[in-house]
Amino acid sequence: MFSQIKKWIFGIGLALVLFLLFSLTYCWYLSGNIEKRFSGRKWKIPSTVYSDTTLLFPGKHVDLTFIEEKLKKLGYRKKMAQPEKKGEYQLIDTGIEIYFKDLNLPDNIREGFLAALDIDHDQINNIRLIDTDGSLSLAELGPEIIMQFFGKERELRRVVSINNIPKHLSDAVTSAEDSRFYTHFGVDPIGIIRALFTNIRYGYIRQGGSTLTQQLSKNYFLTSERTLRRKLNELFISVAIELKYSKDEIIEIYLNEIYFGQKGSVSINGVGEAADFYFGKKVENLTLSESAVIAGIIKGPNIFSPYSNLKKCTDRRNQVLHAMKNKQLISDQEMEMAITEPIKTVGFEKYNRQAPFFLDYVSQQLNELYPETSLSSLGFSIFTSLDTEVQNAAEKALENGLNRLEQAIPAIKREEPIQRLQGAVVVLQPRTGNILAMVGGRDYNLSQFNRITQSRRQPGSCIKPIIVASFLDVFKPSDLLNNEEISYLVNDKLWAPKNFGDIPEKQISVRDMLRLSCNRAAVDMVVRGGLGTVIDQINTYNFSTQFLPYPSIALGAFEVSPLELARAYCAFAADGIQPFPLSVKDVIDENGNSLVRRHMDIHEVISPAKAFLISSMLESVVTDGTAKSLVKLGIDFPLAGKTGTTNEYKDAWFIGYTPDFLALVWVGFDNGDPVYSTGSGAAIPIFAELVKSMPGYISQNTFTRPPGVVQRKVCKQSGELAVFLKCPETYDEYFLEENKPEIKCHIHASPSSIKRFFNGFKNLFK
Amino acid sequence: MGFDRFFFSIILIFFLAACAGIHPVPEKETEKDLGLPTPEIIEKPNSEGQAFDSRMMASHNLTQKGYLLLKQNDFDGAIRLLERAVGINPSDGPGYFYLSEAWLGKKNFNLAKQFNGLALLYLRSNLSWTDRAHLQKKRIERGLNGL
């Protein structure tokens, strides 16, 4: 009998030793895996794409509604009294008071400050520092997040170090989720037994026995299946984690990992992101009450979120606070104060992809530098040139304009959404090449084809300024071009260009050719000036099109990319300097190191004097030419522009610019169906609506007359120097210093009296 | 006695003079220093033409910051601010001058030349700035010629 018992004891002992050995070996094996998983990247952090910042300065035209919208998007909170904390604002009689948030950008690190923007007639009069009553010449609002490169997980997370996590937050989490966290070894037998009893008493699963470490092992290494094998694995992994890591390390990983709810289709993970999502704060600035809210959410993010049920959220917060007090982590007084604190959430906008065509363009460039997996996991910050104010204005203006056009011309309405009338807009800063806005089509969900960067369309008359610029050494702006019907032999066939409207004059000046968009005169210029010169000159504008020496080049017969066309016009707006279009400006890694820095890249394509002449002639297009409807549409600032319409109304264009911005609008069908409208009728209203909604870029800046440009009075009939009191119709015209009129009007200048005397004397002997 | 005191004083001055520190000789101004004038302070705008002046003030603020970064040889940082300055005020001559200087610092003589051209264009009404821009042009040409 005794030997039987001994055998049993020996057997049990052996089994225990074997089990212990197995457990240790298995834990050792697991710890290798855990170390591998934890020592690499713990989390995949999506890269974030930001818009440009918003500069505010006295004299800038602003729309207060826009500023308020912008502040909301940036997470600022509206107050009914003077702002006391960073990220708050108040509307006042004279404008708006803003407590600016801290800025931490590649080119600007600045602490937040309180200032008032005095606004009068939609213009900032003064930026007043409230504390010192001094004035600022410039203030900057941070960039907006416009996209995140998610992987499959679609998680938002900002990793925080344990050193930045306030103690009351970690205390709140341990009190709520695992009160014996600092004393157990990964598994809490007391907790399991207590949970078992509670659940038996209530008859359903009311309490879980999982420790924080177990939750972590489940999230990191296991699926959510409910099997004994998975549970055992969870226990072993938890023990292995505890053996390998300190409690502080474990809670740091846990707090960065745990799920805190949904922002649209994106999940919020980690306390860093949760603090921002619920309270618009950095985690280190959370109050005790807010920490208790966040700790309470873990149990059921969809039940206890303040966004879904404030009452349940408050009850849960109070439970957490009581638990903290019971564990003597907070005093009675602290608990009472936290309980009376109302839960004030920051509000949020669902994650919504903005400026999709622009972002495709950005992605395309980034993918040349980094693979997709890096962008969705390495947490880069990508700063772009996009101005969200201009982007929204462009999207709205295009949609409204196309709808209006369809209503006005029933023949262009289409039943099939994919076949509907299309349009595209791009807005650039001509000096720097910054792309401020890009709308590549009417509806991104229906068609992702970017008509600004991917399409090639005939530019029609929009090519004419480039043609004229090619010949400014030969033709003067006042020189007369032939407007009579002439047939040209092209490829053994006769070709006779036609004008779009009725232009009765037999001859018109170069300026009027642009102003009225006269086709015959444009072809006359090209033929007289030489097709070789045009080809040489047009190639300097960096078009990817291969232009051929045909007279129809003057009418925009060769297809071009709209972005390249806009870029070519930048040279006219910026003293002959052509910038490279910039969308990505900086790429910063998660440690703040600069990976990519793109600067403005410029080169001269024409002289400043020639650029000025073109801009001056294109100003006539707006004041008294094919784009004069702009004045009626409320455009009252100096602007240069050119309309374009192609054969059979396939394309309608308008490109308008000032020294501060350049916008290109295209309207047409993808399949080349006629729009039955011109650049003036279809594109100009869109342009007008757009620029009226981007007041920040509207100034009274005019084109500065550079050296090398002279002004002369000329006769309208001859295009030559006007003769005082003799030429009936004269006007002031700009010329290149080296190509100015030298001859007096041959029509109206009569010989001088001395010359007449000698002529008469000579005639006596004839 | 009086003579003794006078003689003693002379001797004392002579010896004390030997103990005096060497007066710091101002460093010879380098060409770079000559090419980096401090941005002029622009007066606060008056009520007339305020929009234009304010734009200039805002741009000048950025130019000033860019200039400070340039002095610390942070060329990339300076370029970023100066680009913003000329974006706000496309006729910011000093902005172009410093952009050219920054690209010179980065040994990109072609871009330095482009910005120098714009500096010459927009600083032409100010003689001292024009001189500096001409000096800058010469340095760029030397750089382009590999000298």
Measured between beta carbons, the chain A residues lying within 8 angstroms of B118 are 575, 577
In chain A, which residues fall in CATH 3.40.710.10?
Answer: 385-458+559-701, 460-551
- Taking 60 as the threshold, does the pLDDT of residue B21 lie above it? no
- Taking 60 as the threshold, does the pLDDT of residue A744 lie above it? yes
CATH annotation of A48-147? 3.30.2060.10
Band of the pLDDT at A608, cuts 50, 70, 90? Answer: very high
Q: What is the mean pLDDT of residues A642-659?
A: 96
Report which of residues A73 and A608 the model is more confident about: A608
B6 touches chain A (CB under 8 A): no
Q: Which of A429, A425, A460 lies closest to A440 in space, CA to CA? A: A425
- Scanning the structure block, which residue is given the tokens 């602290």? A334
Q: What is the mean pLDDT of residues B16-41?
A: 43
| Cα–Cα distance for residue pair A515/A653, rounded to 1 Å | 15
Band of the pLDDT at B20, cuts 50, 70, 90? Answer: very low
Measured between beta carbons, the chain A residues lying within 8 angstroms of B76 are 594, 597, 599
- Taking 60 as the threshold, does the pLDDT of residue B41 lie above it? no
Band of the pLDDT at A227, cuts 50, 70, 90? Answer: low
Q: Is residue B26 part of a domain?
A: no
Q: Which of A261, A256, A282 lies closest to A271 in space, CA to CA? A: A256
What pLDDT sits at residue B47? 44
Q: Is residue B13 part of a domain?
A: no
What pLDDT sits at residue A726? 87
In chain A, which residues fall in CATH 1.10.3810.10?
Answer: 151-340
Measured between beta carbons, the chain B residues lying within 8 angstroms of A704 are 91, 122
> How far B61 CA lies from chain A's nearest CA (Å)?
7
What pLDDT sits at residue A753? 54
Band of the pLDDT at A14, cuts 50, 70, 90? Answer: confident
Single pTM value for the model:
0.79
- Taking 80 as the threshold, does the pLDDT of residue A268 lie above it? yes
Q: Are A594 and A587 in contact (CB under 8 A)?
A: yes
A355 CB contacts (<8 Å, ≥6 apart)?
A146, A386, A388, A391, A437, A438
Measured between beta carbons, the chain B residues lying within 8 angstroms of A58 are 45, 50, 54, 57-58
- Taking 70 as the threshold, does the pLDDT of residue A247 lie above it? yes
- Taking 90 as the threshold, does the pLDDT of residue A384 lie above it? yes
Residue A720: CB atoms within 10 A of its CB come to 23
A183 CB contacts (<8 Å, ≥6 apart)?
none
Residue type (1 letter), A294? I
What pLDDT sits at residue B42? 45
A173-207 b/e (C-beta count within 10 Å ≥ 16 → b): bbbbbbbebeebebbbeebeeebeeeeeeeeeeee
A75 CB contacts (<8 Å, ≥6 apart)?
A87, A101, A276, A280, A346
What range defines the domain where residue B58 resides?
A: 51-147
Report which of residues A125 and B43 the model is more confident about: A125
A451 CB contacts (<8 Å, ≥6 apart)?
A422, A423, A424, A440, A441, A562, A666, A670
Strand partners of residue A480: A509
Cα-trace Rg, chain A: 36
Report which of residues B7 and A391 the model is more confident about: A391
Band of the pLDDT at A1, cuts 50, 70, 90? Answer: low
Band of the pLDDT at B4, cuts 50, 70, 90? Answer: low
ipTM comes to 0.76
- Taking 80 as the threshold, does the pLDDT of residue A584 lie above it? yes
Q: Which of A157, A142, A150, A156 lies closest to A73 in space, CA to CA? A: A142
| Cα–Cα distance for residue pair B115/B98, rounded to 1 Å | 9
A95 to A55, A119, A126, A389: CA distances (angstroms): 16, 5, 10, 19
- Mean pLDDT taken over chain A: 89
CATH fold of A460-551 reads: Beta-lactamase (3.40.710)
Residue A374: CB atoms within 10 A of its CB come to 15
| Cα–Cα distance for residue pair A538/A568, rounded to 1 Å | 9
Q: Give the DSSP per-residue string, A627-671.
A: TTHHHHTT--S--EEEEEE-GGG-EEEEEEE-SS-EEEEEEE-TT
Report which of residues A139 and A7 the model is more confident about: A139
| Cα–Cα distance for residue pair B98/B89, rounded to 1 Å | 14
| Cα–Cα distance for residue pair A693/A144, rounded to 1 Å | 19
Instruction: Name the region of A470 (left: φ>0; alpha: ψ -120 to 50; beta: rest).
Output: alpha
A262-279 b/e (C-beta count within 10 Å ≥ 16 → b): bbeebbbbbbbbbbbbbb
Strand partners of residue A268: A156
Among A195-199, A313-317, A323-327, A586-590, which stretch is predicted with the lowest mean pLDDT? A195-199
What pLDDT sits at residue B28? 34
A60 touches chain B (CB under 8 A): yes
| Cα–Cα distance for residue pair A703/A620, rounded to 1 Å | 13
Among A26-40, A416-430, A637-651, which stretch is predicted with the lowest mean pLDDT? A26-40
Q: Enumerate residues 619 to 638 of chain A having a beta carbon within 8 A of any beta carbon in chain B.
A: none
DSSP A744: B
pLDDT digits (tens, 9 = 90+) for A122-132: 899 999 998 88
pLDDT digits (tens, 9 = 90+) for A88-115: 999 999 999 999 998 888 877 888 899 9
Band of the pLDDT at B74, cuts 50, 70, 90? Answer: very high
Token pair for A662: 């350049």
Alpha helices in A259-387 (DSSP H): 270-279, 288-297, 301-304, 310-326, 332-340, 356-369, 372-375
Percent of chain B with pLDDT over 70: 63
Q: Is residue B22 part of a domain?
A: no
The torsion of the CA quartet B130, B131, B136, B140, rounded to 10 degrees, works out to: 90
In chain A, which residues fall in CATH 3.30.2060.10?
Answer: 48-147
A259 to A263, A268, A305: CA distances (angstroms): 12, 6, 12
B127 CB contacts (<8 Å, ≥6 apart)?
none
Residues in chain B: 147
Q: Is residue B3 part of a domain?
A: no
Maximum distance among all Cα pairs of chain B, rounded to whole angstroms? 79
pLDDT digits (tens, 9 = 90+) for A489-499: 888 899 999 99
Helix A608-624 to helix A562-573 angle (10° resolution) is: 110
Among A595-599, A640-644, B37-41, which stretch is predicted with the lowest mean pLDDT? B37-41
What pLDDT sits at residue A759? 59
Among A106-120, A444-458, A635-649, which stretch is predicted with the lowest mean pLDDT? A106-120
Q: Which of A541, A476, A562 lies closest to A512 in space, CA to CA? A: A476
Strands A77-78 and A88-92: parallel
What pLDDT sits at residue B34? 40
CATH fold of A385-458+559-701 reads: Beta-lactamase (3.40.710)
Q: Which of A398, A170, A142 lies closest to A280 in space, CA to CA? A: A142
| Cα–Cα distance for residue pair B86/A432, rounded to 1 Å | 8
Report which of residues B31 and B50 the model is more confident about: B50
Q: What's A151-340's CATH class?
A: mainly alpha
Strands A381-384 and A584-588: antiparallel
What pLDDT sits at residue A439? 97
Q: Are A164 and A284 in contact (CB under 8 A)?
A: yes
Q: Give the DSSP per-residue string, A465-505.
A: HHHHHHTTTT--TT-EEE-S---EEETTEEE----SS----
Exposed, middle or buried: residue A164 (CB in 10 Å: 0-12, 13-18, 19+)? Answer: middle
Residue type (1 letter), A749? A
| Cα–Cα distance for residue pair A759/A742, rounded to 1 Å | 23
Q: Can you tell me whether residue A544 is helix, strand or coil?
A: coil
A363 CB contacts (<8 Å, ≥6 apart)?
A149, A375
Q: Enumerate residues 701 to 720 of chain A having a beta carbon within 8 A of any beta carbon in chain B.
A: 701, 704, 706-707
Q: Are A29 and A362 in contact (CB under 8 A)?
A: no
pLDDT digits (tens, 9 = 90+) for A307-366: 989 999 999 999 999 999 999 999 999 999 999 999 988 876 655 668 999 999 998 888
pLDDT digits (tens, 9 = 90+) for A657-678: 999 999 999 999 999 999 999 9
Q: What is the mean pLDDT of residues A115-119?
A: 94
Q: Is residue B98 part of a domain?
A: yes
What pLDDT sits at residue B25? 32
B106 touches chain A (CB under 8 A): no
Residue type (1 letter), A82? Q
Out of A137, A577, A594, whose CB is closest to B57? A137
Phi, psi values for residue A544, rounded to 5°: -90, -5
Band of the pLDDT at A4, cuts 50, 70, 90? Answer: confident
Report which of residues A216 and B33 the model is more confident about: A216
B61 touches chain A (CB under 8 A): yes
Out of A107, A135, A707, whose CB is closest to B80? A107
Token pair for A552: 């129809």
Contact criterion met (CB < 8 Å) for B61 and A608 = no
Among A4-13, A113-122, A597-606, which stretch is predicted with the lowest mean pLDDT? A4-13
| Cα–Cα distance for residue pair A95/A89, rounded to 1 Å | 11
Strand partners of residue A136: A127
Measured between beta carbons, the chain B residues lying within 8 angstroms of A123 are 51
Contact criterion met (CB < 8 Å) for A137 and B84 = no
Handedness of CA A300, A302, A305, A310 (dihedral sign): negative
Q: Are B140 and B109 in contact (CB under 8 A)?
A: yes
Q: Which of A425, A685, A467, A463 lies closest to A563 in space, CA to CA? A: A425
Our count of domains for chain B comes to 1
Band of the pLDDT at B15, cuts 50, 70, 90? Answer: very low
Band of the pLDDT at A693, cuts 50, 70, 90? Answer: very high
Measured between beta carbons, the chain B residues lying within 8 angstroms of A137 are 54, 57-58, 60-61
pLDDT digits (tens, 9 = 90+) for A59-72: 888 989 889 999 98
Domain containing residue B114: CATH number: 1.25.40.10
